[in-house]
Structure 1
Amino acid sequence: MGGQLIITHLQPPKIGFAKAANGMYQYLIQYNKLAGGYITSGHKVEKAYPAVAANGDLLNATYENGTWLVFDIGKIG
């Protein structure tokens, strides 16, 4: 339930993906996450998570056969 991500900042398009030393491309995003949690099959909240502002992540991806494939999304800092 919940946990929606709201993108607040993207790396400027003119910069695009930056190629890393390992051959993958990296892209920076910043987002806010709304409160959320997990609900059991019995409709009980199993675990709840609070809203969090200004998360920063780094996407690691490759471009193969005309498609971007994201391999990892890691926290910045």
Structure 2
Amino acid sequence: MSRHCQLTGKKANNSVTICFSHKRHKRLQHVNLQWKRIWWPEGNRFVTLHISTKAIKTLQKKSLSTFAKEAGIDLNKF
């Protein structure tokens, strides 16, 4: 499974590290992903998702079903 948020679709960002001698090295800035078990009231069960911390904060404002509908995700598959 690739490292991306299942709700927002966030994934790693390409970046460059520059040392004191100005050598450049490519690296990835990974998303802060967490496995989260969330109660889904419409399905009357828990859903386990691999989501970013930004998505966890957004879930506190929106409901899970609204957020999944905007992302185009079917929660019955999880």
Q: Which protein has the bigger helix share?
A: 2
TM-score, normalized by the shorter chain, greater than 0.5: no
TM-score by length of 2: 0.24
TM-score, normalised by the number of residues in structure 1: 0.24
